[in-house]
Amino acid sequence: MNMSRAYTLLGQKAGYQGVLSVGRVQTPVLGLVVRRDEEIENFVPRDYFTLHALIPYQDNGPAFDIRAKWRPSEACKPWQDEEGRVLNRKLVENVAQRIQGQPAKVVKSEHKSTKQNAPLPYSLSALQIDAAKRYNMSAQQVLDVCQALYEKHKLITYPRSDNRYLPKDHFYQANDVLAAIKNNSQEYSTAVDGADSSRKSKAWNDSKVDAHHAIIPTPKKTSMVLSGFEEKVYGLIARQYVMQFYPAAVYAEAMLEFDIQGGQFVAKGKRLQEPGWRVLLGNSATDQEEGVDAVPPLEVGTVLTCRDGQIGEKKTEPPRHFTEATLLQAMTGISRFVEDKSLKKILRDTDGIGTEATRAGILDTLFKRQLLNRQGKSVMSTPAGRGLIHALPDESTYPDMTAHWEFQLQGMAEKTQSYGPFMSDLNVKLDQLMGQVKTGPVPESLRNLPKVEKPAFKKYKKRRSAGSSTGKRRSKPKAS
CA separation (Å) from 322 to 26, 179, 377? 15, 39, 8
Helix (H), strand (E) at residue 70: strand 64-71
Give the largest Cα separation in the chain, rounded. 117
Measure the CA–CA gap between 140 and 249, rounded to whole angstroms.
Answer: 33
Q: Bridge partners of 64?
A: 57
Alpha helix segments (H runs only) across 81-123: 89-99
Euclidean distance between CA atoms 235 and 233, whole angstroms: 5
Please give the DSSP secondary-structure letter assigned to residue 218: -
Residues in the chain: 480
What are residue 251's DSSP bridge partners?
Answer: 114, 272
C-alpha distance from residue 381 to each of 27, 43, 140 (Å): 12, 17, 19
Q: With residue 372 as reference, give the H or E element that holds it.
A: strand 372-375
Catalytic annotation, residues:
158
Say which amino acid occupies 146. C
DSSP H helices, 136-196, are 139-147, 174-184, 189-193
* Residue among 126, 218, 217, 116 at smallest CA distance from 164: 126
The DSSP letter of residue 150 is I
> Is residue 11 helix, strand or coil?
helix
How far apart are the two ends of the chain, measured CA to CA in Å? 51
Quick check: helix, strand or coil at residue 107? Answer: strand
Task: For strands 249-260 and 308-315, give the pairing.
Answer: unpaired
Helices (H) and strands (E) in the chain, counts: 14, 9
R_g of the chain, CA atoms, integer Å:
30
Left if phi > 0, otherwise alpha if psi is -120 to 50, otherwise beta: which for 384?
A: alpha
